[in-house]
Amino acid sequence: MTSAESAPPIVLIHGLWLSPRSWEGWKERFESRGYRVLAPAWPRMQQDVEEVRRDPSAMNGLGVAEIADHYGDIVRDLDQPPIIMGHSFGGLITELLLDRGLGACGVALSPAPVKGVLRLPPAQLRSAFPVLGNPTNRKRTVELTPKQFHYGFTNTMNDEQAQAAYERYEVPGPGRVIFQAAFANFAPRAPSKVDFHKDDRPPLLIIGNGEDHTVPASVSKEAAKRFGRSKAVVDYKEFPGRPHFTAGAPGWEEVADYALEWATRHTGAPAEREEPVTA
């Protein structure tokens, strides 16, 4: 295994309705093992969580392409290709960056679906309805209620844990990214389009979560199968009983350790599978 001293840096990309604060446990855990860890915010939301909540209007109209370009610039500015880990829409951005040939490898936790992933379970529709239910949200920034956040992110946590997570981590999010993902399969030039057959893509691990409502495990598994059409390394790991907020829900340490061990093992790995995606 590559030592932490010589390993690539780690870039953590947060998801919609969250901020870099959602990675605080992972960042501290990885740094304590000697890794250099960056957890940059999405463009237009570099303020503290509390400031974003007070005035989220700067994110009105923020879309997938701008977010991907923002992180692409960050990755290119590093002195070596990093390990990229992203959650939810951050997982989608991770996949887009790998498709551009960026990064040493990538881990996508419950990634929002890229163009070509077709599965749409009822729970996912319900999670997206607070945005998609109102067409004017396409250009607005939308905040989830505690009830909506509990359903979409913390459904395996008790009421006290869920409320604490909401108060610490939830931020308003740009509705445009939800509309872009929802209608990507009808848009020839969708910003979430990737090449599933790209053989020189850096290694990719997709993590599904068994009790995830926002990106059900079946959606994550389908994404792994579609990316697996190439000769590049594509692995899938599912954690039963975990919600969408897997990076912060109790037991997150197991997920973080698995992601780091996989990434370290696959940094610079040859393009061959060790854990084939199964039906």
Domain CATH code at residue 45: 3.40.50.1820
> Model confidence over 137-165: pLDDT tens digits?
999 999 999 999 999 999 999 999 999 99
Q: Which domain holds residue 18?
A: 10-266
What pLDDT shows up at residue 42? 97
Phi, psi of 239 (to 5 degrees): -105, 110
Flag whether 105 is in a domain: yes
In angstroms, the CA 197 to CA 200 distance is: 9
Distances (CA, A) of 269 to 136, 146, 264, 274: 46, 42, 9, 10
Flag whether 3 is in a domain: no
pTM over 0.85: yes
Flag whether 167 is in a domain: yes
Flag whether 242 is in a domain: yes
Task: Extract the residue ranges of the chain whose pLDDT is less than 70.
Answer: 1-5, 268-279
Flag whether 226 is in a domain: yes
Flag whether 276 is in a domain: no
User: What is the chain's alpha carbon radius of gyration, rounded to the nearest angstrom?
Assistant: 17
Flag whether 80 is in a domain: yes
Structure token pair of residue 180 = 């872009």
Q: How many separate domains does the chain show?
A: 1
> Model confidence over 13-35: pLDDT tens digits?
999 999 999 999 999 999 999 99
What pLDDT shows up at residue 4? 63
Flag whether 108 is in a domain: yes
